[in-house]
Amino acid sequence: MAQASRSAKEIMKQAGSYLTVRNFYRLFAFIMIISGAGFYLGWSIAYDTWTDIGLYSFAVPLILFGILLLALDLEKHNPQEKNSE
């Protein structure tokens, strides 16, 4: 029984290394990009409306916010070293 609880603690410790704020930003950004693109493609295929402004007004912000969230993640967690003159 002690061996089982020890392995459970190790599993939780390992899982905790994957559950970080950076990984949450990435996951949420990819969900937004995929849902925006998927909604656009699905709606356009189903209703044959490839140039619907209402469809753009829903899908484009999802995709853009997903891209911006990825950019925020890169800037926040990988800052460029500034040159001091």
| Two structure tokens written together for 60 | 């484009």
pLDDT of residue 44: 96
How far is it, in rounded angstroms, from Cα 59 to Cα 6? 47
Q: For 10-22, write each residue's pLDDT tens digit.
A: 777 776 777 788 8
DSSP state of 1: -
CA distance 25 to 74: 10
pLDDT in the model for residue 41: 97
- pTM comes to 0.73
Distance separating alpha carbons of residues 32 and 71, to the nearest angstrom:
14
Domain boundaries defined on the chain: 20-77
DSSP state for residue 51 in the 8-state scheme: T
Q: For the segment 33-71, what is each residue's pLDDT rounded down to a tens digit?
A: 999 999 999 999 999 999 999 999 999 999 999 999 999
- Which residue bears the tokens 């950004």? 29
